[in-house]
Amino acid sequence: MNEFELIRRYFDRPAKNAVLGVGDDAAIVRPTPGHDLHVSVDMLVEGRHFFADVDPAALGHKTLAVNLSDMAAMGAAPRWVVLAVALPHSDEAWVARFADGFFALADRFDVGVIGGDTTRGPLTLSVTVFGEAPSGRALRRNAAQEGDDVWVSGTLGLGAMALREKLAGDLKLPADALAAGLARLERPEPRVALGQGLLGLAHAAVDVSDGWFADFGHILERSNKGAELWFDALPTHPWLAERRARYPELIAAGGDDYELAFTAPAANRAAIEALGLQLGVAVSRVGRVRSPEAGVSLIDSAGRPVALQRAGYDHFA
């Protein structure tokens, strides 16, 4: 296939929610009145963000999921995406599987694919996502308040656990733990409904992609706040929970979680727990926001400090 045949066969589909989608020099969209437009971009590079032998359908899913997770962190509804792909060669079977995984997730969230680009090069996948939230109501990193509870959704450390097993093989994971970790690593679930449900309940939120401790630190930095954070309250897989003290970085700083970390007033605890039950998403209270003078402390259940060798993933480390 040449470039244009590839686009027509696998990516030129009716664009949901758009005035004009794939096929022209630019797409045309019409945002909902009374809503702000949110825009985010993520790039995935072979060997840096995924293994060369990953299932193309799973990679299609993850390529979109990591972008939807950014919209979730803002409380925005994802509406449209553009996809840019660099391929080392034109492998029709690979592209078909990738497109299946990508569009399956797009259909689940009613997201329109409205354009993009293809070229030859090292396998690189870049998505720009556009979302909407009611004007002035978005969850932002700079809005945490002293006294807020600190929360996190789902479980932490599963993707990092699977990645370490694939790279080093030293964890000797049982089959169920490895399967759970690989599912998180290859097919993360963006918390879109939770993010939208937190509008009016939470003050600040962030997408957990590079490690919970580092990503939550962005909230504290932008909000100019400190925090007391409870390591033993961080939710994780049972196998990892039993070895919590041995592998603290996997849980607190591992990355590839795609959960939401957020702060909210203590008065909203019951409402947040009810929202989690309604959506079938676990939510865990893991600390409290303090004054900037108090600094940031990560402590165990006995109040002892927990040391991390690193705070999170760094693309240039």
Question: What gap in Å lies between CA 63 and CA 73, rounded to an integer?
Answer: 17
Q: Is 258 annotated as a binding residue?
A: no
Q: Is 70 annotated as a binding residue?
A: yes
Residues pairing with 119 in the sheet = 86
Element holding 158 (H helix, E strand): helix 158-167
Q: What are phi and psi of 301, to 5 degrees?
A: -65, -15
Q: Is 36 annotated as a binding residue?
A: no
Q: Is 49 annotated as a binding residue?
A: yes
Q: Is 257 annotated as a binding residue?
A: no
Report how far Cα 233 is from the mean position of its chain's Cα atoms. Answer: 21
Q: Is 25 annotated as a binding residue?
A: yes
Q: Is 301 annotated as a binding residue?
A: no
Q: Is 42 annotated as a binding residue?
A: yes
Residue 120 structure tokens: 């030859």
Under 8 Å between Cβ of 51 and 91: no
Q: Is 256 annotated as a binding residue?
A: yes
Q: Is 209 annotated as a binding residue?
A: yes
Q: Is 135 annotated as a binding residue?
A: no
DSSP 99-140: HHHHHHHHHHTT-EEEEEEEEESS-EEEEEEEEEEETT----
Could you list the residues known to form a binding site for ATP, using ranges. Answer: 116-117, 141, 209
Could you list the residues known to form a binding site for substrate, using ranges. Answer: 49, 256, 313
Could you list the residues known to form a binding site for Mg(2+), using ranges. Answer: 25, 40, 42, 70, 117, 207, 210
Could you list the residues known to form a binding site, using ranges. Answer: 25, 40, 42, 49, 70, 116-117, 141, 207, 209-210, 256, 313
